[in-house]
Amino acid sequence: MKKVYLCISTDILQPGHVNVIKKAAELGEVTVGILCDECVAIYEKYPIIPLVERMKIISAIKGVEHVVEQKSIYYDDNLLELRPDYVIHGDNWNKGYQAEVKACAARILEQWGGKIVEIPYYHTENMELFHKSMKDVRGLPEVRRQRLRHDIQMGNMIKVMAAHDGLSALLVEKTSVRKNGQNRRFDGIWISSLCDSTVMGKPDIELVDLTSRIRVVEEIMEVTTKPIIFDGDTGGQIEHFAYNIRSLERAGVSAVIIEDKTGLKRNSLLGNDVEQHQDSVEGFCRKIRVGKKALSSGNFMLIARIESLILEQGLHDALERARAYVEAGVDGIMIHSRKKEPDEIFAFCDQFRMEDANTPIVVVPTTFDSVYEEELRQHGINMVIYANHMLRAAFPAMQSVAETILENERCLEAGEKCMSIKEILSLIPVEGGR
Ligand code: SPV
Ligand code: MG
């Protein structure tokens, strides 16, 4: 009996997959490689059905003899192990990154005279409609929350980018670059108090109220599917926090980060140049417990942000607080610094990781900006937030255009610095974003 191999790289089964399996069974004994969750997330869309369940579903299809995990979009490892006579695929893999995948598979099969069999790609309009509605499912609050937890559990470095409105969020949702054969994308959206305040022309002192900030969340929820991490400032008064965290949960936020400051909050990057106060350990632990108790979703994450390094209270204080906050029930720790180098962040993480291997650590490298994500990962950090770059990029561009019009007393010169009207109109399709 000949051996046949095929790979299923999505969590949504379509009639086309069944066709390929049927054809494969006619050729011999069928092994299906199920693409791992990490790869589905990178190359397709975030999988709503995880690998173990996908393996169960596909193994129940008539004609499938074996299912195995495929750990890369490249078939190499599984082909070398199974040495199949045929690899079967729809004829839609002749362009984009898939062409490379096909070429690699063909080269390996050659070693033992194996062949690629292609069958016409199955396409229906129903499937297009279906995919569109799957986008809505991916955007559901609970799906986003599970996704964040799952991404952290998978041990990935979660890359979060700030967005301050629908358009910037759409960019965070869609921007991708291809590097070293991999698609790189952001994994989540940061809703920053600094950005939310600055776009409204207000200082970052908890002046913009939660209702206004939730409006930003709604705008962003509507056009994206990625987890949303909300900058909750101090969380406000304990009594208010119980209500506020529920509002954020209802609005669809996946995680909130609250900082252990009290009184008039000032932006952390101002440090001790301005007057700001850290909460007592007991006071902040009480806030954490009240917040956790108020939540209904087990997947919503409450993350405690430690300001000891910002306020020059030392590493010892930061570590003691971390222990206490974890004990009080937080789902993660954010450690912040305004130093140019990441040394104090690394010292904290190395010590913390000796005692606690699991609690996720979040950092915001606005000032220690030369650090690479890989270095952060090596120090046990799970999430990196690029907290304000979209807004900081937009402001100088707008300022320059405004000055150019004033200088030239017309808009021709400014127009050269702008996207064309045609482009901006086609940026957002009439059917909506995401
Ligand atoms: C924000 O983005 O509002 C933050 C991060 O809180 S920082 O500005 O570094 O304090
Ligand atoms: Mg903030």
Which of 161, 200, 202, 204, when mutated, tests ligand 1's pocket best, judged by the most ligand atoms within 8 Å of its CB?
204
Widest distance between CA atoms in the chain? 80
What are the E-state strand segments in 345-401?
Answer: 361-363, 383-386
State residue 155's pLDDT score.
87
Tell me which residue of 293, 327, 329, 324 sits closest to 306, measured CA to CA: 324
Enumerate the β-bridge partners of residue 86. 4, 115
Q: Is the pLDDT of residue 433 over 60?
A: no
CA dihedral sign, ordered 312, 318, 321, 326: positive
**Least confident window among 38-42, 143-147, 222-226, 321-325:** 38-42
Ligand 1 nearest-atom number relative to CA 257: 6
Catalytic residue chosen out of the listed positions 204, 233, 279, 331: 204
Tokens of 203: 């200082």
The CB of 364 under 6 Å from ligand 1? The reply is yes
Six-digit token string for 373: 């994500």
* 264 φψ region: left (φ > 0), alpha (ψ -120 to 50), beta (else): beta
**Encoding tokens for residue 254?**
């996946």
Using the structure block, give the residue that is written with the tokens 């799952």: 150
What is the C-alpha to C-alpha distance for residues 386 and 363, in angstroms, rounded to an integer?
Answer: 9
Q: Cβ distance 305 to 344 under 8 Å? A: no
Give me the chain's average pLDDT, please.
93
Tokens of 194: 């600094």
Can you tell me which residue has the tokens 């270095």? Answer: 375
pLDDT band of 381, cuts 50, 70, 90: very high
- Residue whose CA is closest, atom 10 of ligand 1? 268
Residues facing 87 on adjacent strands:
5, 116
Strand partners, 92: none
Ligand 1 atom closest to the CA of 190, numbered from 1 = 2
Secondary structure in 3-state letters for the chain: CCEEEEEECCCCCCHHHHHHHHHHHHHCEEEEEEECHHHHHHHCCCCCCCHHHHHHHHHCCCCEEEEEEECCCCCHHHHHHHCCCEEEEECCCCCCHHHHHHHHHHHHHHCCCCEEEEECCCCCHHHHHHHHHHHHHHCCHHHHHHHHHHHHHCCCCEEEEECCCHHHHHHHHHCEEEECCEEEECCEEEECHHHHHHHCCCCCCCCCCHHHHHHHHHHHHHHCCCCEEEECCCCCCHHHHHHHHHHHHHHCCCEEEEECEECCCCCHHHHHHCCCEECCHHHHHHHHHHHHHHCCCCCCEEEEEECCCCCCCHHHHHHHHHHHHHHHCCCEEEECCCCCCCHHHHHHHHHHHHHCCCCCEEECCCCCCCCCHHHHHHCCCCEEEECCHHHHHHHHHHHHHHHHHHHHCCCHHHHCCCCCHHHHHHHCCCCCCC
Residue 276 CA to ligand 2 center (angstroms) comes to 14
What ligand has the least distance to the C-alpha of 309?
A: 1
Of the ligands numbered here, which is closest to the C-alpha atom of 268? 1
Q: Would you call 90 helix, strand, or coil by DSSP?
A: strand
Cα–ligand 2 centroid distance for 359 (angstroms): 22
DSSP structure string for 248-270: HHHHT-SEEEEESEESS---GGG
Ligand 1 pocket member 269 (CB < 6 A): yes
Banded model confidence at residue 258, pLDDT cuts 50, 70, 90: very high
**Mean pLDDT across 310-320:** 97
**What whole-number distance in Å separates Cα of residue 194 and Cα of residue 204?**
5
Ligand nearest to the CA of 162: 1
Q: Does the pLDDT of residue 429 top 80, yes or no? A: no
How many angstroms is it from 376 CA to the middle of ligand 1?
A: 18
Window from 33-42, 105-114, 246-255 with minimum mean pLDDT: 33-42
* Mean pLDDT within 36-63: 89
The pLDDT score that the predictor gives to residue 403 is 98
Q: In this structure, which residue's CA is closest to atom 2 in ligand 1? A: 192
Between CA 328 and CA 322 the distance in angstroms is: 10
Catalytic site includes residue 204: yes
Task: Verify whether ligand 1 is closer than 6 Å to residue 196 (CB atom).
Answer: no
**140 falls in which pLDDT band (50, 70, 90)?**
very high
H or E stretch including 155?
none
pLDDT value, residue 303: 98
Query: At 77, is the secondary structure helix, strand, or coil?
Result: helix
Question: What's the whole-number mean pLDDT along residues 365-371?
Answer: 98
**Contact between 205 and 265 (Cβ < 8 Å):** yes
Task: Determine the pLDDT at residue 110.
Answer: 97
Measured on CA atoms in the order 354, 334, 50, 78, is the torsion positive or negative? Answer: negative
The pLDDT of residue 432 is above 70:
no
Q: Comparing 212-216, 257-261, 424-428, which segment has the lowest mean pLDDT?
A: 424-428
Q: Are 192 and 164 in contact (CB under 8 A)?
A: yes
Q: What angle do CA 167, 172, 173 make, to 5 degrees?
A: 90
Question: What was the pLDDT predicted at 10?
Answer: 84
Say if ligand 1 is within 6 A of residue 276 CB.
no
pLDDT the model gives residue 434:
58
Residue 408 pLDDT greater than 80, yes or no: yes
